[in-house]
């Protein structure tokens, strides 16, 4: 028995040894055949096989080498792969050198295990035409579908890669549909993994549209990524001067759910980040963003959002539902401090800013088409909202979009110790869109509105509509009314320091040498029609003087034509109270004194009319109401109630005539000239409210 066992072992060794010798002989024979295979014949074989598989020409203009070992490799030089017939350029892919090395033993069982895959100086030109075709789509539509079905079937015959590298790669993507072109330069890219079930580590450095990046990425295995389910992702690196971090799990595009990623991004300026994204952003910063992205079917949630820009902050949660006929976005956003100048890189709009086209109002269309493509509702709360140099407190609004109609209501804005309430609608379902704004507020701080130059309780009332898709169109079609009023305050003489020379010259003497005067009331009322504002009364009543004015503001032509008259309550200063004209472009109007431009001015200069010390309240019927409330509002309303300036100032004329008649009795020689002066004065006063 023992001899038989020994004999069998010897026989088994002989068989195994013979088999091994056969394999070695086969490899040696294969090596001799392949190693001595003519280079031109080898290139022709590879080119032929490539064309049969892809339907396009592969040209090897350089050398072709095959190294046979336990890790056979192929090296091709100066390789060119043909582009689609309709695409720009002869080659879709070209490279200086292509190298591939595989494990020999797995090949015996049908497994393709690539040890090394390297492209040196590749240039890849990707293009999508206006119809959406990609030049990377190979073969017929039927062949493309078959390839897609095979890819979705799983890992059958899928090769594994231990190392994939690109050196000095240039990838250009031209999108004719979007009218864009992006350029990706890969100084180096290397991906490593042991097999199909091992994680993959990727290191990449280069630039996208001249914006540099350097990334370290850890991914799931090829098996995980090909399974159609979520796979782990960890990304850390830099984008230009920004730091980026992504951790979590990512689902392939075809998956119904599975995205669960925490994002962190920070940098000194949005400008370079915008270039990376293909959009123009202002040089605003520094910025930071943190958020947790979740996907459940067609619903994406951005939870725990925390963002900062300059000195501004924003936090909240946003949900986007993409499963309906129209995308819907809902959420809540809160801010401790939100400054609009931060969006411009800290630069507040200056007085010298000029809109497109050379006017005050930009003529560039507002992208209202976005309102026609989605619905949603956002609750927004900001403890502080800074607009230019004005700080608003406790701003609350509900923004809702439905079928192209944007509604922002209610709007609640804290201004000083008071609140402005109202609403806004923009109906983009109409062409052109329509805009409506209603805002009311009382008890507001005039000191904040005037930078401390005036104090008092301010009220506003706006009810305006407009039509169009740009700020210029809205200004040119503005219709409705606006009113600003104030009472019980003070006017500081430092207001004159920021006024133009003509204004300072006209109002300065009326202070009578005081640093401040009491403000009894102020009102400015406009009726707007198709962009033209007709003044329905401008009046200021102070302890030493009164001001009344009238005119028009034309937002279409961006011009003003206004007349302002001043009245002194001090007989010694009557001659210094001269009228002013404000005319010309809104951006730079001409302000000029007009001491003799009207009969009213002549009468005042001659000492024929002295405004009553009681001010505007003394020249209207309901004086008790005017004295208890706002005399400026009362006088302008009484003008309207009495049918306009003519009928209203009839009573004023009678009173002035009576005063001047008494003066005429005392000086009969001057009677005729005085009565004529009174008549001209009343006519001039009427013209102010016309």
- The mean of the pLDDT values for the chain is 77
Whole-number pLDDT of residue 133: 87
Contact 43, 51 (CB under 8 A): no
Distance CA 110, CA 106 (A): 7
Supply 322's token pair: 């993409």
- Report helix, strand or coil for 152: helix
Whole-number pLDDT of residue 248: 94
Low-confidence residues in the chain, pLDDT < 50: 1-2, 4-6, 8-30, 151, 154-156, 348-356, 596-613, 619-621, 623-624, 626-627, 645-653, 655-690
Distance CA 689, CA 677 (A): 19
Whole-number pLDDT of residue 576: 53
Whole-number pLDDT of residue 13: 46
Supply 554's token pair: 């034309």
Contact 580, 561 (CB under 8 A): no
Contacts of 24 (CB under 8 A, 6+ apart): none
Whole-number pLDDT of residue 655: 44
Strand residue runs (E) in 543-630 = 545-554, 559-568, 580-585, 590-593
Closest CA to 439 of 455, 417, 458: 458
Helix pair angle (645-666, 671-688), 10° resolution:
160
Whole-number pLDDT of residue 584: 93
Distance CA 242, CA 214 (A): 11
Distance CA 652, CA 521 (A): 20
Length of the chain equals 690
Contacts of 65 (CB under 8 A, 6+ apart): 39, 74, 75
């Amino acid at each position: 028995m023992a001899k038989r066992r020994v004999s069998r072992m010897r026989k088994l060794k002989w068989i195994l040894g013979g088999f091994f010798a056969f394999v070695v002989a086969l490899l040696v024979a294969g090596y001799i055949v392949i190693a001595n295979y003519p280079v031109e014949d080898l290139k022709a074989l590879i080119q032929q096989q490539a064309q049969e598989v892809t339907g396009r020409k592969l040209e090897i203009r350089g050398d072709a080498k095959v190294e046979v070992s336990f890790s056979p490799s192929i090296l091709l030089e100066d390789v060119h792969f043909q582009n689609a017939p309709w695409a720009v350029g002869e080659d879709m892919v070209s490279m200086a050198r292509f190298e591939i090395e595989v494990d020999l033993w797995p090949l015996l069982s049908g497994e393709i295990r690539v040890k090394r895959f390297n492209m040196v100086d590749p240039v890849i030109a990707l293009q999508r035409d206006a119809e959406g075709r990609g030049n990377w789509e190979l073969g017929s539509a039927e062949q493309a579908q078959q390839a897609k079905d095979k890819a979705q079937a799983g890992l059958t015959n899928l090769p594994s890669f231990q190392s994939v590298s690109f050196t000095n790669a240039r990838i250009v993507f031209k999108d004719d549909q979007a009218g864009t072109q992006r350029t990706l330069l890969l100084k180096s890219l290397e991906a490593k993994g042991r097999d199909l079930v091992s994680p993959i580590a990727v290191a990449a450095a280069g630039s996208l549209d001249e914006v540099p990046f350097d990334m370290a990425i850890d991914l799931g295995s090829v098996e995980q990524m090909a399974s159609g389910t979520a796979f782990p992702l960890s990304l850390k690196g830099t984008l230009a001067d920004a730091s980026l971090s992504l951790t979590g799990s990512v689902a392939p595009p075809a998956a119904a759910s599975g995205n669960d990623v925490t994002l962190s991004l920070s940098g000194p300026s949005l400008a370079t980040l915008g270039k990376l994204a293909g959009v123009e952003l202002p040089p605003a910063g520094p910025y930071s963003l943190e958020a947790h992205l979740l996907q459940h079917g067609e619903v994406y949630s951005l939870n725990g959002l925390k963002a900062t820009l300059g000195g501004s902050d924003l936090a909240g949660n946003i949900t986007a539902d993409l499963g309906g006929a129209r995308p819907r976005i809902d959420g809540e956003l809160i801010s401790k401090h939100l400054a609009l100048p931060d969006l411009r890189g800290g630069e507040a709009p200056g007085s010298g800013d000029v809109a497109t086209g050379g006017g005050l109002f930009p003529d560039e269309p507002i992208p209202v088409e976005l309102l026609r493509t989605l619905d949603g509702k956002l609750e927004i709360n900001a403890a502080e909202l800074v607009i230019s140099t004005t700080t608003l407190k406790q701003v609350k609004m509900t923004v809702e979009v439905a079928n192209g109609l944007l509604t922002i209501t209610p709007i609640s804005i804290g201004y000083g110790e008071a609140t402005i309430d109202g609403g806004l609608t923009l109906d983009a379902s109409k062409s052109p869109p329509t805009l409506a704004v209603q805002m009311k507020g009382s008890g507001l701080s005039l000191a904040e509105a005037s930078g401390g130059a005036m104090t008092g309780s301010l009220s506003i009332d706006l009810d305006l509509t407009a039509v169009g898709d740009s700020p210029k169109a809205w200004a040119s079609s503005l219709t409705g009314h606006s009113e600003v009023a104030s009472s019980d305050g003070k006017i500081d003489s430092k207001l004159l320091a920021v006024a133009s020379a003509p204004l300072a010259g006209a109002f300065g003497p009326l202070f009578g040498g005081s640093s401040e005067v009491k403000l009894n009331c102020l009102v400015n009322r406009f009726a707007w029609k198709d962009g033209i504002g007709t003044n329905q009364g401008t009046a200021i009543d102070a302890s030493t003087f009164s001001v009344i004015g009238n005119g028009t503001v034309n937002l279409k032509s961006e011009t003003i034509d206004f007349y302002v008259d001043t009245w002194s309550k001090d007989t010694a200063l009557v001659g210094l109270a001269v009228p002013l004209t404000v005319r010309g472009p809104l951006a730079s109007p001409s302000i000029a004194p007009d001491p003799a431009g009207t009969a009213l001015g002549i009468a005042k200069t001659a000492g024929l009319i002295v405004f009553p010390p009681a001010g505007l309240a003394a020249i209207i019927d309901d004086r008790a109401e005017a004295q208890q409330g706002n005399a400026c509002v009362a006088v302008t309303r009484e003008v309207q109630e009495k049918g306009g300036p003519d009928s209203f100032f009839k009573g004023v004329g009678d009173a002035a005539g009576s005063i001047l008649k008494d003066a005429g009795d005392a000086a009969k020689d001057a009677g005729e000239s005085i009565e004529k002066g009174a008549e001209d004065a009343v006519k001039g006063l009427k013209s102010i409210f016309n």
